[in-house]
A and B are shown apart, each in its own frame.
Chain A
Amino acid sequence: MFLLPGLAGVMLFYLLPFLEVVRRSFLQSGNSAFVGIDNYRAVWENGAFVLAVRNTFLYMAVGVPLLMGSSLLLSLLLRNLRLRRRLVSAMLLPMAVPAAVMVLTLQILIDRQGVINGVLTKAAEQIMVIPAFEAIDYLNTEWALVVVVCSFLWKNTGYMVILWLAGLAALPKEVEEAAQVDGANRWQNWHYIIRPGLSGSFFTIGMLSVLQIFKSYREVWMVAGSYPQEHIYFLQHLLQNWYLKLEFDRMAALTVIMSLVLLVVCLCLQKRLEQREENF
């Protein structure tokens, strides 16, 4: 009963459209002829798809754990501080900056002749330890992925800290205090009390990190264009370029594949989570 209004809207604005995507994944865009799994085959055999999947996976494999780890660490440090709210707000600020300005800032910083290279060159000259520092063209070399991951971390750390803090706040304080009285050290405290208590949050925040990875696409695109350096060519680039080429059939097929994978992963994680909770 609580769910119904929400569910109706979700059905109308998300599920129905999604079913339309599923339907279109079996049709040819343009003349809407039924083509069976041809679109799926076209996606599967596509060289760009392989590249995009590899890059996206790498990005996630690096970005998600780094983000989750750093933000968890921060929130553990933050959680009992008096300045907590101010600091979290400060960390959230990058999220509030319009994408266009964020991109502009980024460009000024990381251009081959940008501020960062300028500072590094100056530093190299001053210290004289490093021989001549060669300006790095961050966006057009392997550094591109590093730049993307860094800006991802920069933008999203505050976001995840908020979520961790929400998770931490829900932990029963008494248990922890009791443990401290019993002389549990910090590590034990973490291992036996905090970590199990946060296992649900792990799932939530992991999923949201993935979501943020997907959402960071627009900035990447604004900085590097539709055909960026090979290492930062992600699934969304592929989707967008297909859209521009009116290849909706392939997009639909790719989306169905993606959502199946996500659904399976999500259900498995949830199952494990529940088992664990029960065991605990």
Chain B
Amino acid sequence: MMRKGRVLLYIMMCAMCAALWGCGGKEEEIPMGRYADREVKLPPGTFEYMHPCPDGSYYLYGLDTELTYVDVQGESKGKDRNWENNANIHVKYVVGVSDEGASVFAYTPRFWNDEELEALWIAGDTRYLYYYVDEKGQKQALEPHGEGYEKATNLNTFAFSPEGELYAASDTAVYRVNVENGEVESLFATQEQVKSIVFSGDVMLAADAGKAYFYDRAEGKLLDGNSTLDEFLSSHSAGGLVMAVSDRNAHVKIMEDNGAGDAEKAGAPDGEETGASGTNAGDDSKNAQALYMACRTGLYRYIWGGSVIEQIADGQMTALGDTQRSPSALQVLDNGEFRVMFSGNYMVEMYYDETLPARPSKELTVYSLEENGWIRYAGQLFQKEHPDVLVRYETGMDGDNAVSKEDALKNLNTRLLAGEAPDVIVMDHMDIEQYAGKGVLRELDGILQPYLDEGILYRNIVEGMRMTDKEKIYSVPMMVYLPLWLGEEMYLEGEQSLEDIVAGMEQARQKHPEGAILYTPYPKDVLLQTIPVCLPAWTKEDGSLDVEKLTAYYRAVSRMWEIDSAGFDAAGREAWQKNNMEWYAPTDMDMADIGSNYQYSAQQNFGETWLQLGFLMTPQVGMTGIHVSKANMAADWQQKELDDVVTYGAYAGQADNVYWARTIVGLCEQGKEPKLAEEYMNLLLSDPMMRKWWLDKPRNHSGLTIRKDSLGDILDINNIEFGQTMGFKDPTGVNYPDFWPTEEEKQWLYQMMEDADCCYRPGTMLEECATEVGVRVLEGGLTPEEGAREVERKMAIEMEE
């Protein structure tokens, strides 16, 4: 019994392993050919949308931009069909264009002529007004009215049928609009806002984020839905989805089959996956009458009546995968190519390239804990330069789910320990010393040397990353933040230490006994603003915690909080916090950018703000933002008949010349593609990468580039067209060029960059611990001494481990 059992056991185990092994891992040859994309150079202007014409020409338009026609040859044909710029029009929202160039747009007026409307507007009814411009340029106001249409409804999506009929959608229904007299006929109700409308013969297909509606225009009735499409829409609509049909006129077929299918299925119970009620399976779908859909995950084709939606281009390998953009229109061309328009003045043509392998043969894996737009962007650029490489960008934590930072790190460590390291790791919020110490990271001295020798990068910043125990550099930040204060010259001037700031606040409090001084409703904010400039000083040479320094720190911040809180009572602070909760909640990961977040301080309606502590997070917006903030604060004070001068400067805490490292990149020792990883690093450090990102996305908070020439370029007003970099004119009417930094200010910034040599890396155990205990200290639960001891106790356990 025993012997037999054991033999049987072995046999079974072997069989099982063999069976499971067989399931995967067969090497196969990669077939050739896949879709690639090329950027289309657009005529001057900032375009958001495109209207495809059946002959391959198209119209471009955007918010506050004139309609531009581009013919089949790609020649932009002037502006003979303009929208007249009207002082009365504030921002145009939605536009529909017909093949012939007639257009309709919605806008919110800057000034109301209609008292009734104005009353509604004040009451919070943000309704649009509409204009219709015919193909000859004749403009007339369009006042939608009719049965089933309420005056307060906003029409957000417009589409002209091939015959020139206008259809529109609100968030609850789809309508037909008579452009001559504005009569509106409600056609059918929808669950959500219809985002996309396409025509196929007599059938109109309207899609919202979870359902496709087929409407027979000739018969005037809603047809059966299509569960295949519905399912696809609900899982692919995030980030935008656009549709187009291959042939708009030949599609009477859908409707016919639909009708037939309707009749046949009348008695059947709602069969789920038989779905495909668009057509029945028998139809000759070979004449490729198809619906195409483009979204982040790729370009898809759906042959009418089928139950599959096939992917014909992978989003990861084309511009579609760019999470920073969303597609706004799709055009199907006769030669099998596609045009995709993205919001944000960007258009690509997707073409089939037979010389490219269908799947890239090599893979470069890039890992970061959190989504990092800059890194994603670099991946796309890298892929373009290396068509045989797929850059797989993985993030440990994304979206709203139960995965905590620890869980994500555990998963990463599992992979590292199992020998499946990614090639590149973005080390933000990770313990670099730990990973370097365990031999995970590759030393970068060799790669960085040429950059340092030629003085391309700020040497001090790179050197700040040198690990103390191993004397080598294992990671390099691509961007940094610099500490900055903004306040009244009377109390503070130039570079400040923590004590100076406390003293300045003390003075300010004497002069203004009422109101807040800092612009921080929460105790945690004070910690977030001061820990970065102090944390590097808390660790002694031997790696242990300097309790005295920490105690001194807690004393200083408690004092700051005390002074600040003396200006108003607890109820006042509570009210202030409640007020802020809706639109600003402090997070550990990010802080208010002192420059670009000027609205934050401007919108405080409780107390006055005399001093802001924060970080300079963006080059141009940040620097101009300082001016804007200054102006705002000054204006605020002028109103209150205070005539002090607003100024700004760097501040230091217990550590001097601190920089906050962002997008810290390291390469893995065990990576499978060390050569490619090196090239990737070189791309990250290149001027185009550092600069282009900023010019494309001036408002994101990635940081100040560590490449000297790029930083200079970004701050050179001659180098960039300002209107374009900002994306839009600021609605509050701030004129940015007026606030552009002066030469002197730029030199000041460069000098700060040259001096910064003390690295602050967020996310260490010590910081988490000190913040958590710090809140209790500020709230009065612990004295500074107790707080420091508590941190010491916790860190002692950590050291022991």
How far does the Cβ of B3 sit from chain A's closest Cβ, in whole Å? 13
Q: Check A8 against B13 for contact (C-beta < 8 Å).
A: yes
Instruction: Determine whether A226 belongs to the interface, using a CB cutoff of 8 Å to chain B.
Output: yes
How far does the Cβ of B669 sit from chain A's closest Cβ, in whole Å? 9
How far does the Cβ of B633 sit from chain A's closest Cβ, in whole Å? 35
Instruction: Determine whether A119 belongs to the interface, using a CB cutoff of 8 Å to chain B.
Output: no
Interface string of A1-34 (1 = CB under 8 A from B): 1011101100110000000000000000111000
Q: Check B800 against A30 for contact (C-beta < 8 Å).
A: no
How far does the Cβ of B791 sit from chain A's closest Cβ, in whole Å? 10
Pick from B12, B13, B402, B413: contact of A244, CB under 8 Å: B413
With a cutoff of 8 Å between Cβ atoms, the chain B residues found around residue A243 in the complex are 410, 413
Q: Check B413 against A137 for contact (C-beta < 8 Å).
A: no
Instruction: Determine whether B511 belongs to the interface, using a CB cutoff of 8 Å to chain A.
Output: no
Q: Check A246 against B438 for contact (C-beta < 8 Å).
A: yes
Q: Check B440 against A246 for contact (C-beta < 8 Å).
A: yes
Q: Check A238 against B8 for contact (C-beta < 8 Å).
A: no
With a cutoff of 8 Å between Cβ atoms, the chain A residues found around residue B765 in the complex are 226-227
Interface string of B1-17 (1 = CB under 8 A from A): 00001001100110011
Instruction: Determine whether B416 belongs to the interface, using a CB cutoff of 8 Å to chain A.
Output: yes
Q: Check B797 against A30 for contact (C-beta < 8 Å).
A: no
Chain B: CB-nearest residue to A238: B801
Interface string of A236-280 (1 = CB under 8 A from B): 001011111111100000000000000000000000000000000
Instruction: Determine whether A180 belongs to the interface, using a CB cutoff of 8 Å to chain B.
Output: no
Give the distance in Å from the alpha carbon of A230 to the alpha carbon of B410 in the complex. 23
Q: Check B417 against A233 for contact (C-beta < 8 Å).
A: no
Known: A29-B438, A100-B402, A230-B793. A242 touches B801 (CB 8 A): yes
Q: Check A226 against B406 for contact (C-beta < 8 Å).
A: yes
Q: Check A246 against B800 for contact (C-beta < 8 Å).
A: no
Give the distance in Å from the alpha carbon of A32 to the alpha carbon of B581 in the complex. 51
Give the distance in Å from the alpha carbon of A137 to the alpha carbon of B790 in the complex. 14
Chain A: CB-nearest residue to B769: A227
How far does the Cβ of B518 sit from chain A's closest Cβ, in whole Å? 23
Instruction: Determine whether B781 belongs to the interface, using a CB cutoff of 8 Å to chain A.
Output: yes
How far does the Cβ of A156 sit from chain B's closest Cβ, in whole Å? 22
Q: Check A244 against B409 for contact (C-beta < 8 Å).
A: yes
Instruction: Determine whether A47 belongs to the interface, using a CB cutoff of 8 Å to chain B.
Output: yes
Residues 422 to 461 of chain B near chain A (Cβ within 8 Å): 431, 434-435, 438-440
Pick from A12, A31, A112, A246: contact of B417, CB under 8 Å: A246
Interface string of A40-83 (1 = CB under 8 A from B): 00000011100100000000000000000000000000000000
Q: Check A248 against B417 for contact (C-beta < 8 Å).
A: yes
Q: Check A241 against B801 for contact (C-beta < 8 Å).
A: yes
- Of A5, A7, A137, A246, chain B has the most CB atoms within 10 Å of the CB of A246
Give the distance in Å from the alpha carbon of A112 to the alpha carbon of B776 in the complex. 11
Instruction: Determine whether B798 belongs to the interface, using a CB cutoff of 8 Å to chain A.
Output: yes
Give the distance in Å from the alpha carbon of A12 to the alpha carbon of B21 in the complex. 13
How far does the Cβ of A50 sit from chain B's closest Cβ, in whole Å? 9
Known: A4-B9, A47-B800, A246-B417. A227 touches B794 (CB 8 A): yes
Known: A227-B765, A246-B438. A48 touches B410 (CB 8 A): no
With a cutoff of 8 Å between Cβ atoms, the chain A residues found around residue B17 in the complex are 12
Q: Check B797 against A233 for contact (C-beta < 8 Å).
A: yes
With a cutoff of 8 Å between Cβ atoms, the chain B residues found around residue A248 in the complex are 413, 417
Chain A: CB-nearest residue to B416: A246
With a cutoff of 8 Å between Cβ atoms, the chain B residues found around residue A225 in the complex are 768, 772
Chain B: CB-nearest residue to A47: B800
Give the distance in Å from the alpha carbon of A46 to the alpha carbon of B781 in the complex. 32
Q: Number of B residues whose C-beta is below 8 Å from A?
A: 33
With a cutoff of 8 Å between Cβ atoms, the chain A residues found around residue B406 in the complex are 221, 226, 240, 244
Q: Check B410 against A30 for contact (C-beta < 8 Å).
A: no
Chain A: CB-nearest residue to B20: A12
With a cutoff of 8 Å between Cβ atoms, the chain B residues found around residue A12 in the complex are 13, 16-17
Give the distance in Å from the alpha carbon of A5 to the alpha carbon of B13 in the complex. 9
With a cutoff of 8 Å between Cβ atoms, the chain B residues found around residue A30 in the complex are 438-440
Chain A: CB-nearest residue to B793: A230
Known: A30-B438, A227-B794, A230-B793. A5 touches B413 (CB 8 A): no
Known: A5-B12, A12-B13. A227 touches B438 (CB 8 A): no
Q: Check A29 against B16 for contact (C-beta < 8 Å).
A: no
How far does the Cβ of B684 sit from chain A's closest Cβ, in whole Å? 25
Known: A4-B5, A230-B797, A238-B801. A29 touches B417 (CB 8 A): yes
How far does the Cβ of A279 sit from chain B's closest Cβ, in whole Å? 29
Q: Check A245 against B434 for contact (C-beta < 8 Å).
A: yes
Q: Check B800 against A112 for contact (C-beta < 8 Å).
A: no
Chain B: CB-nearest residue to A100: B402
Residues 80 to 136 of chain A near chain B (Cβ within 8 Å): 100, 112
Give the distance in Å from the alpha carbon of A30 to the alpha carbon of B406 in the complex. 20
With a cutoff of 8 Å between Cβ atoms, the chain B residues found around residue A31 in the complex are 439
With a cutoff of 8 Å between Cβ atoms, the chain A residues found around residue B435 in the complex are 246
Q: Check A8 against B16 for contact (C-beta < 8 Å).
A: yes
Chain B: CB-nearest residue to A3: B5
Give the distance in Å from the alpha carbon of A29 to the alpha carbon of B406 in the complex. 20
Interface string of B377-420 (1 = CB under 8 A from A): 00000000000000000000000001000100110010011000
With a cutoff of 8 Å between Cβ atoms, the chain A residues found around residue B440 in the complex are 30, 246
Q: Check A227 against B5 for contact (C-beta < 8 Å).
A: no
Q: Check A1 against B797 for contact (C-beta < 8 Å).
A: no
Give the distance in Å from the alpha carbon of A225 to the alpha carbon of B416 in the complex. 24
Q: Check B9 against A8 for contact (C-beta < 8 Å).
A: yes
Known: A30-B439, A227-B765. A46 touches B801 (CB 8 A): yes
Q: Check A1 against B798 for contact (C-beta < 8 Å).
A: no
Give the distance in Å from the alpha carbon of A221 to the alpha carbon of B5 in the complex. 44
Pick from B413, B769, B781, B801: contact of A246, CB under 8 Å: B413
How far does the Cβ of A191 sit from chain B's closest Cβ, in whole Å? 41
Pick from A100, A137, A244: contact of B781, CB under 8 Å: A137
How far does the Cβ of B414 sit from chain A's closest Cβ, in whole Å? 8
Interface string of B247-267 (1 = CB under 8 A from A): 000000000000000000000
Interface string of A210-225 (1 = CB under 8 A from B): 0000000000010001
With a cutoff of 8 Å between Cβ atoms, the chain B residues found around residue A29 in the complex are 417, 438
With a cutoff of 8 Å between Cβ atoms, the chain B residues found around residue A246 in the complex are 413, 416-417, 434-435, 438, 440
How far does the Cβ of B666 sit from chain A's closest Cβ, in whole Å? 14
Binding site for A on B (CB under 8 A): 5, 8-9, 12-13, 16-17, 402, 406, 409-410, 413, 416-417, 431, 434-435, 438-440, 765, 768-769, 772, 776, 781, 790, 793-794, 797-798, 800-801
Binding site for B on A (CB under 8 A): 1, 3-5, 7-8, 11-12, 29-31, 46-48, 51, 100, 112, 137, 140, 221, 225-227, 230, 233, 238, 240-248
- A-B pairs with lowest CB-CB distance, top 10: A47-B800, A48-B800, A246-B438, A227-B794, A30-B439, A48-B801, A30-B438, A8-B12, A8-B13, A248-B417
User: Can you list 6 A-B pairs, Cβ within 8 angstroms, ordered by A?
Assistant: A8-B9, A48-B797, A51-B797, A240-B410, A244-B413, A245-B431
A29-B438, A240-B406 are known; give 13 further A-B pairs, CB within 8 A. A1-B5, A1-B8, A12-B17, A46-B801, A51-B797, A226-B406, A243-B410, A244-B406, A244-B410, A245-B431, A245-B438, A246-B417, A248-B417
